[in-house]
Structure 1
Amino acid sequence: MTPSAPRLRVETREIDAVEDLLPYTSPSHPLAWTRKGDGIVGFGVAHTLVHHAGHGTPPLTDRWSRLAAAADVRDDVDLPGTGLVAFGTLAFDDDSARRSILIVPSVIVGRRGGRAWITTISDVADTRDPVPVRLPEPYGPHWAGTLGPGEQTAGGYMESVRAALQAIAAGEVGKVVLARDLRGSVPAGADLRRLARALSQDYPDTWTFAVDGLIGASPETLVTVRGGSITARVLAGTASRGADADADVAASAGLASSAKDLDEHEFAVRSVLAALRPHTRALAAAEAPFTLKLPNVWHLATDVEGELAGAASALDLVRELHPTAAVAGTPTAAAIEVIRRLEPFDRGRYAGPVGWIDGTGDGEWAIALRCAQFDLDATDTAAGIAVTAYAGAGIVAGSDPETELLETRVKFRPIVDALA
């Protein structure tokens, strides 16, 4: 029998301007979702919804709907990210040992379009004193992490790419995305907000996120739902930035004309459109991708826009969209089986959905890329906090194992540089 949802009391009010959101979240367990300085951060925990694969618990979507319906909400600001909000990070694979979780903070501080607010959340039935409104806490001392080979070595990765090419040639899949890992540690007591700050400063056009120890900077919007409108950004196809202006122009032009990358991108766009079409009355995507410039890479990108046909929430659409061809492959079920066979590790939340949802079902979700998972609850004071970083590449017919390995090295750069 499913326990009844608690009744949460939620109050949002406007506050004076906030220069930097990250000092308002926890140094050891940060909750953050920011882009170009705007976004939301959380502190404390008012409630959590957790899903473990194979445990038979109801979907997070249903449990969130019940929690939101029972909440007593007063929102005097009414902007995206106000009112009842949960931060979420979901496992890539239904068979993952890593939990999927929605975290409702006790306190949320947000900023958007020059306005700032604070939200306090508590259980109506909880007679304890509420979590005090958090004052900004200065960043802790600088720290550096160490990363080395993970379970998938460079040589092992190229062997996996060759095996994937055999699966493609045999008609098992048209595309499969293969990842590899780096493992290491950061000092015990490290202020993890520093990592989020470094990523947001170096990659301002990405979504910087921190949820349940997963910290990263994703360029790929899985889905945004706002007032009945939906948007998504599909990224697939990558090239390293050039060493100078001429080489950079050539790199962009080469990516835009690459048959291999264009095929990979088309797979990804088709998978997103197919997932969204049953839930929309209008849906549009550009006929050809554009090249998106990031500090370390060029991506082929396509923006998708539409209007919802029913009452689907952001989490409903996340469930329909994930995993896209951009992070799994196509056909999806067959690609997942190839991933399970060829990757010698559990991806956890890497390449899974990460973002937030509010009490009306609106929200913003990205794909957890350029990220690292910190094991916050298994910290050995001497060994520090264990961390695993991930990066992957899409394999299609014509892929070269060494080139794909180099692509993962480029994609590791944001997290490796931020940990230095």
Structure 2
Amino acid sequence: MHHLATLSGVTWPDTPPRLYARTVEIDDPGRLLDWLPERDAFAWIRDGDGMVGWGEVVTHKPTTVLDADQWWSDLVGQVVAVSELGDAPAGAGFMAFGSFVFDPDNTHVRSVLTVPETIVGRRRGRCWMTRIGPEFRHDDVRPAPAPARPPRSVSYADGGLTGPQWEAAVAQAVRRIGAGEVDKVVLARDLLARAAEPIDPRWLVGRLAAEYSRCWTYRVDGLVGATPEMLVRQENGLATSRVLAGTIRRSGDSQRDLALASALARSSKDLEEHEYAVASVARALAPFCSGMHVPDAPYVLELPNVLHLATDVTAVADQGTSALRLAAALHPSAAVCGTPTAPARAMIAELEKMDRERYAGPVGWIDARGDGEWGIALRCGQLDETDSRQIRLFAGCGIVAGSDPEAELAEAAAKLVPMRDALGG
């Protein structure tokens, strides 16, 4: 099969073009999100650091993450890059932002990997600008975008299923788990939000980055969110995967939240769900890594809206293995699909009554060295391609034998809070 990609509007089959990338060190750029135009822009921010980009030099729409990894390797071989940073941080230089569908067999959309024209980044105190194109660019001009606009008069409607219908789907999943079809399945639901005027994605990422600074805030191809879950990070040969499974909604009272955190850490239902997710990550990484460390017990990750059971799995990646290759091995993990994978994915397609599109798929970036960060697209919304006033919000819950449908619906509502707050309620 010939996979097509575009360079500045020109389509070519298979053979990548010669590209030029020039990276210069710059003064601290301030708030990175302030650099972004409203459209054709990208972001990956955590604790104020990360990268933003705009413009489009190359876009590839791969069928799978593995396809993207091969295409990226071929493209990097055609790049002429110069940099004044010396020992540059990961992500400084030629790089791409990407977002992948959850299930290529059950969606109407395609994954995307895009190289921007301009990237501005800050990591570990180093700041840079990279310009990319069919020739070297030297015009380091800062854009002057108009201020981001808050959404107006946002209304909500059920997506694929109403609340009671989704509870019934959860109850059916619990019965089928009891019958031995799967050990765990993750069921998601969607909510449609519609504003009176076109939604400005800059407003959403700005609110998310401010309120959920410990998460990875992203904006790629109309997908906007702030994920607490790192599918895989690779830098200088070290691979890390953060597993989240087991969630409880915060109460707003600090003493009550301490009690909730203690209860979460002892919950047999949540610990079971978490154990499945950690085991699936360790199995997937094993063929590509050595020296793996899996902690004996999870810790409680505190976010403004929820508490999660979390485990950080670390390993040394085999030489020549890219972050995209590791992401391909890990996706879909038990944390967003279930276990065993194949029957859980089939159950999702049957029970959810919706297209997940890029929700719960890998989202992040990769650089020319193969380093990168690929989060799981959670706590997110997908802007409508044909109606800029509408966005689909998503939330999912891990279902195991001890799951209660009413409690799972409440958990899904808690996971919708970040996007609803960003939209203004």
Q: How high is the TM-score relative to the length of structure 1?
A: 0.94
- Given the alignment, which residue of 374, 382, 386 partners 1:378? 386
Match of 2:210 in 1: 201
Q: Return the letter of the residue paired with 2:397.
A: A
5+ residue gaps, structure 2: 3-12
Q: Matched residues in 2 for 1:14 and 1:132: separation?
A: 11
TM alignment of 1:234-383, pairs within 5 A: 234-375=243-384, 377-379=385-387
5+ residue gaps, structure 1: none
TM alignment of 1:44-193, pairs within 5 A: 44-52=55-63, 59-77=67-85, 78-95=88-105, 96-124=107-135, 133-144=141-152, 145-193=154-202
Q: Matched residues in 2 for 1:316 and 1:73: separation?
A: 23
In the superposition, relative to structure 1, how do residues 187 and 294 fare at CA in structure 2: closer, same or farther (>3 Å)?
same
Q: Matched residues in 2 for 1:198 and 1:207: separation?
A: 13
Q: Matched residues in 2 for 1:243 and 1:313: separation?
A: 41
Shift of 1:58: 8.1
Shift of 1:187: 4.7
Shift of 1:131: 8.2
Match of 2:22 in 1: 11
Shift of 1:29: 3.5
Shift of 1:304: 0.9
Taking only aligned residues, the RMSD between alpha carbons, in angstroms, comes to 1.8
Quick check: 1:107–1:133 contact (8 Å CA) kept in 2? no
Quick check: 1:354–1:366 contact (8 Å CA) kept in 2? yes
- Given the alignment, which residue of 406, 416, 422 partners 1:418? 422
Q: Matched residue of 1:51: which SS?
A: coil
Q: Matched residues in 2 for 1:353 and 1:98: separation?
A: 14
Q: Return the letter of the residue paired with 1:82.
A: A
Q: Matched residues in 2 for 1:361 and 1:147: separation?
A: 41
Q: Matched residues in 1 for 2:271 and 2:144: separation?
A: 46
Matched, 1:233 2:237: no
- Given the alignment, which residue of 15, 21, 38 partners 2:32? 21
Q: Return the letter of the residue paired with 1:141.
A: R
Q: How high is the TM-score relative to the length of structure 2?
A: 0.93
Alignment deviations for residues 257-316 of structure 1 (CA, whole Å, 9 cap, x no partner): 000000000000000000001111211011000001000111000011110123110110
Q: Matched residues in 1 for 2:35 and 2:226: separation?
A: 19
Quick check: 2:199–2:390 contact (8 Å CA) kept in 1? no
In the superposition, relative to structure 1, how do residues 162 and 131 fare at CA in structure 2: closer, same or farther (>3 Å)?
farther
Quick check: 1:350–1:371 contact (8 Å CA) kept in 2? yes
Q: Return the letter of the residue paired with 2:84.
A: D
Identity of aligned residues (%): 45
Shift of 1:188: 4.3
Q: Matched residue of 1:349: which SS?
A: coil
Shift of 1:3: 2.5
In the superposition, relative to structure 1, how do residues 170 and 319 fare at CA in structure 2: closer, same or farther (>3 Å)?
same
Quick check: 1:175–1:394 contact (8 Å CA) kept in 2? yes
Match of 2:54 in 1: 43
In the superposition, relative to structure 1, how do residues 131 and 397 fare at CA in structure 2: closer, same or farther (>3 Å)?
farther
